[in-house]
Amino acid sequence: MPSLLQLPLVPCKVKFEKGEILLHSVLSEGDYGCVYRGTFYVNGGTGECAAKCCLKSSVSLPRLMFFRREAVLHAHVSSGEGIVKLYDIFEDESFIWIIMKYYPEGDLWKAIVDGRFVGRDEYIRSIFSRILKAVAYCHSQTVYHRDIKPENILLDENGTKVFLADFGLASGVKCSESWGGIFGLDLPYEGAPHDIWSLGVVLINMICSNYAPWKRATSQDTAFRQFLVSPSSALARYPLSPQVCRLLERVFKVEPKQRITLKDFQSAITKIKVFSRQKEKPSRIRNIPRTVSGIFSYPFREKSCIISRRRLLEWTDAKEDSISESCYSIESQAVTDLSHCCVSRFDSELVADVEGPTVRLVGNFNPLYNARRVIPDIMIG
């Protein structure tokens, strides 16, 4: 990383062919140089900008070529909706400059950490659809970002619009040999499927407020290994709705060619009504035999029992397809009569019994010791 003493010190002016830029402050630093906040003056016009500066003498020739490639690819897609506006690119003896529009509202990461998406299904759908549209435009221009993450997505217009930024790892070819692949293997690297995978992680970040499904998608990561064994069970641990879980199973395919296409991804997002489990409609238990009602009695304790899906269909308003997914959350009521209780949570864990597959029901109840003998298809946990 170059020393700040080697870089332009703020405040200062940088002149170029079309005009000049007044640099006010440093926004961020990196291995190549840094990004400044500034004001540009061109042909009598003025406006705020972000100026990305690369110190030529501080980076290797390959890294310098990457920076030039970033500038070219960004310029190629800059006119697209949802892409950070690029004003100019210029180079002098010491530096390469990329001049872009400045977005003072910050990035998607900050919005996620601040909890701006919690429980806001319409907002999630709107913002994520805009992200998908921006990525789709890049792909239509044979530009693959390869570094999609909340920090590289900027917000504007009171958080209603998003803009894809930082094309430092972008590629202009569909498949490259340089790096990539699941498990960290040096395999041919396909840009489009990788972007789709990254978009799935961003979607989880937005819904779960900064919760990542795994640290890295490699065989050394315990969470990712668990996902490979049972994708549905692994995803059910997060507060995601059944529709989102089904979609993410299509996104996180290890084989790139098996992943959902970007077009289908866009279509699926528009059809999702509820993104978080907390927003799922309660399935109220009704018509419960008296022997079962006795299990849910005062004082209440947080326990779980496993009930066959057939019984669950008989006793609740839940639909068969939602029970087969068995991964949505329902608000619980602490009352003595089970006929007035609500299911607290369906776990994805399946247990085999004499009547077939079962789901784990978690709620506030005090199990009777002889419940397993009285009702064979309920197992107390």
Show the beta-strand stretches assigned E in 282-355.
Answer: 302-308, 345-353
- Give SS3 for 106: coil
The pLDDT score that the predictor gives to residue 59 is 83
CATH superfamily of 108-279: Transferase(Phosphotransferase) domain 1 (1.10.510.10)
Class of the CATH domain delimited by 4-101? alpha beta
Closest CA to 33 of 50, 46, 16: 50
User: How many Cβ atoms from other residues are within 10 Å of residue 242's Cβ?
Assistant: 22
The pLDDT score that the predictor gives to residue 189 is 77
- Give SS3 for 72: helix
Question: What residue ranges of the chain are covered by domains with CATH 1.10.510.10?
Answer: 108-279
Question: What residue ranges of the chain are covered by domains with CATH 3.30.200.20?
Answer: 4-101
- pLDDT per residue rounded down to tens, the chain (381 residues): 555 557 888 899 998 888 899 999 999 887 778 999 999 998 778 899 999 999 888 888 888 888 999 999 999 999 999 999 999 999 888 899 999 999 999 999 999 999 999 889 999 999 999 999 999 999 999 999 999 999 999 999 999 999 999 999 999 998 877 654 444 555 667 899 999 999 999 999 999 986 788 888 888 889 899 999 999 988 988 899 999 999 999 999 999 999 999 999 999 999 999 999 864 444 444 444 433 333 333 233 333 444 455 555 555 555 544 443 322 222 232 222 232 233 333 333 333 333 333 334 443 333 332 232 223 333 333
* Rounded CA separation 283/306 (Å): 16
